[in-house]
Amino acid sequence: MIDAALLEVRNLTKRYGGLLAVDDVSFDIAPNKITAIIGPNGAGKSTCFNLISGHTRPTSGTLAFAGDDITGTPDYRAARLGIARTFQATALFRNLSVIDNVIVGTRQHARSTVVDAIFRTPQHRRDLRACREGAREALAFVGLEHHAARMATELSQEAQRRLSLAIAYAGRPKLMLLDEPVAGVSHEEMGEHALLIRKIAASGCTVALVEHKMHLVMGLADAIVVLHHGKKIADGTPAHVSADPLVIEAYLGVKTVA
């Protein structure tokens, strides 16, 4: 039996003026798998993530998450439903410690209100404790537990990437969207990072990633979706996609004889 898709993307379209950044794209993200979205610069990959995570609204098309229509759902609500993301450019609070970055990132899941915070109610204290514990667990998960008190900016590029993963992971999402998770990571450190992405998937969190580094994608992904000029030109297993003449043409700019 085939598992139902965790995310169903149907005819997704985003228009910016005269440009169709994402043009009638449909694909599924299967649960508990790693799906890569690839394509040349400007193909519409980050825009796709922005649409799924609710950072931007689609011009048309639909999104269904765990069977529910989430089209047009804003980012804070998508996060509560279990969709977390990391950004292409690392987005950390530069003047906060490592652990405070994780806590701030997970506060959206807290149950206390502003009133609770002002009056420091028991609910607020419980939430703070739970946030701190959750943040410590997430830091341990990515191997940063010994760096909790350092300032985020003191971390190496690679550790900052791991911190971004911890922030997204701390809310225990069902789906993590990772936009170029190894950008700025050295070749030597990339293997470790790939293992961490595998570990996230093995923990029961479905992973979708955008990545240019093909050896990483081919080694990690169970399924690949290829975008080019906003359109989906192929999808399937890594073997299937890498043999597709349209994909080869998009990447190499040469036509192949099928």
Chain positions 187 to 246 lying near ligand ATP, rule: CB under 6 A, are none
Instruction: Return d(Cα 230, Cα 182) in angstroms, integer.
Output: 23
Instruction: Return d(Cα 26, Cα 258) in angstroms, integer.
Output: 24
Q: How far is the CB of 50 from ligand ATP (least distance, A)?
A: 7
Q: How far is the CB of 120 from ligand ATP (least distance, A)?
A: 40
Q: Which does 206 bind (CB under 5 to 8 A by kind): Mg ion, ligand ATP, none?
A: none
How many amino acids of this chain bind Mg ion (CB under 5 A)? 2
Instruction: Return d(Cα 151, Cα 228) in angstroms, integer.
Output: 39
Q: Which does 161 bind (CB under 5 to 8 A by kind): Mg ion, ligand ATP, none?
A: none
Instruction: Return d(Cα 29, Cα 31) in angstroms, integer.
Output: 7
Q: Which does 42 bind (CB under 5 to 8 A by kind): ligand ATP, Mg ion, none?
A: ligand ATP
Q: Could you say which of 7, 9, 25, 43 contacts ligand ATP (CB under 6 A)?
A: 43
Q: Could you say which of 46, 50, 73, 112 contacts Mg ion (CB under 5 A)?
A: 46
Q: Could you say which of 1, 2, 41, 149 contacts ligand ATP (CB under 6 A)?
A: 41
Instruction: Return d(Cα 7, Cα 253) in angstroms, integer.
Output: 31
247 and 239 Cβ atoms separated by less than 8 Å: no
Instruction: Return d(Cα 65, Cα 55) in angstroms, integer.
Output: 16
Q: Which phi and psi (to 5°) does residue 21 adopt? A: -70, -40
Chain positions 65 to 104 lying near Mg ion, rule: CB under 5 A, are 88
Which residues of this chain interact with ligand ATP, rule CB under 6 A? 16, 19, 21, 39, 41-47, 88
